[in-house]
Amino acid sequence: MTVHVVADSVAGLMGLRAMLDQHCAVTSELLSDADTRHSKPDAVVVTADLRAVDSIATLKEMFGRLSHVRTRIFITDHKARLFTVQAHALGATRVLVNPVNQASLLAALVDSPSRTIAIEALPGAREAATSGATALASMFSAVSSGKLIDVSDAKRAGRKIADSIAENGLSSWLETVRRHHESTYQHCLLVTGIAVDFGLCLGVPNADIERLYSAAIFHDIGKAKIPLAVLDKPGRLDDRERALIETHPAAGYDVLKENAGASPEILDAVRHHHEYLDGSGYPDALCAASISDIVRILTISDIFAALIEHRHYKPTMPREQAYEIIRSMEGKLERPLVAAFREVALNR
Ligand SMILES: [Fe+2]
Ligand SMILES: [Fe+2]
């Protein structure tokens, strides 16, 4: 049996080689140099940190090329279900959690089940994105045609998104949404996922996660009143178009304020998600003390989502660069929250 070993550190590589060298033919390489185009192993064993965005991208490519290999074992340091799901989504046939010893690794190599998994977004994330996009589409068309928005329908979709984030993680969500959805729906789905993940990262209670996804899914509903020619215009907006876009928070608030299903938090988020702590935002030029915690979280998620959106006319901005822009907005966003957001932006 030939086993190909890939690790994201020299120590990881050496550790695995030491366990396998006397029992099978072993080839190995570091994840950063992985080029498996010419290797034809019977099994592949990988150990890497699944929180690193770069590692995930490399592993996706690599497992895509190795989908014909029957046994693909992934070793992770973290017991969280999220990492197990992530590893399977990448194409692992078996996931082991450290500490892994020689006996357990050899046993896994002998009796690992084989299956071929397409390197694709997770079904749970796809389903949540579809129901979110459907809810957004019906909300936006209700506003356009002057009908009442079904708030509970949108909240149900938000709940599914929150469940998908908790189960599958943020990276899978970002990829699913950017691949399958466009424009304002893509943006609202991204903001909802990012806000939920930010809430989970901050450890906020469940009731606040519900407030967050409800606020996020509705936050840009006022854009239903903006012509698509302006909303989806490639490139820079002129002053008139910018002023028109800036009417959307108040327009959204007006649409929802008579709706019995819209809670005060939703109304607050819809109206104030473009306010900044230094009073330079719109529409009410609120200052720090008047901006709620939910809105502060939402605003950071909103800016980040807008920066990393996939648009056909421009390259997608890397998450690192988007975070640097947020970090540079000194005085406008809450500094401890921006520091906490680093984990969401770069690692989750
Ligand atoms: Fe907005
Ligand atoms: Fe937005």
Ligand nearest the Cα atom of residue 183: 2
- How does DSSP assign 31-54, residue by residue? GGG--GGG---SEEEEE--TT-HH
Burial (CB < 10 A; 0-12, 13-18, 19+), residue 301, is: buried
- Would you state the structure tokens that stand for residue 45, as one six-digit string? 């064993």
Q: Which residues have their alpha-adjacent CB atom under 5 A from ion ligand 1?
A: 220
Give the Å distance between the CA of 219 and the centre of ligand 1: 6
pLDDT, one tens digit for every residue, the chain (348 residues): 889 999 998 888 899 999 998 888 888 888 888 776 666 788 999 999 877 777 888 887 887 777 677 788 889 887 655 676 667 667 677 778 888 888 888 888 876 443 333 334 567 787 888 788 888 878 887 887 788 899 999 999 999 999 989 888 898 888 888 876 667 888 999 999 999 999 999 999 999 999 999 999 999 999 988 887 888 788 889 999 999 999 999 999 999 998 999 999 999 999 999 999 999 999 999 999 999 999 999 999 999 999 998 876 778 899 999 999 999 999 999 999 999 999 999 987
Give the Å distance between the CA of 125 and the centre of ligand 1: 24
pTM for the whole structure: 0.64
How far is residue 279's CA from residue 100's CA, in Å, rounded to a whole number?
A: 54
Give the Å distance between the CA of 217 and the centre of ligand 2: 9
Ligand nearest the Cα atom of residue 305: 2
- CATH class (in words) of the domain with range 2-111: alpha beta
Give the Å distance between the CA of 218 and the centre of ligand 1: 10
Task: Give whole-number Cα distances, 250 to 158, 215, 229, in Å.
Answer: 22, 15, 20
Ligand nearest the Cα atom of residue 283: 1
Angle in degrees, CA 92, 97, 100, rounded to 5? 110
In the 8-state DSSP scheme, what is residue 266?
A: H
Greatest distance between any 2 Cα atoms in the chain: 73
Give CATH 3.40.50.2300 domain extents, the chain: 2-111
Give CATH 1.10.3210.10 domain extents, the chain: 123-347
Give the Å distance between the CA of 283 and the centre of ligand 2: 14
Rounded to a whole number of angstroms, the distance between the first and last alpha carbons of the chain is 35
- CATH class (in words) of the domain with range 123-347: mainly alpha
Give the Å distance between the CA of 337 and the centre of ligand 2: 18
In the 8-state DSSP scheme, what is residue 235?
A: S
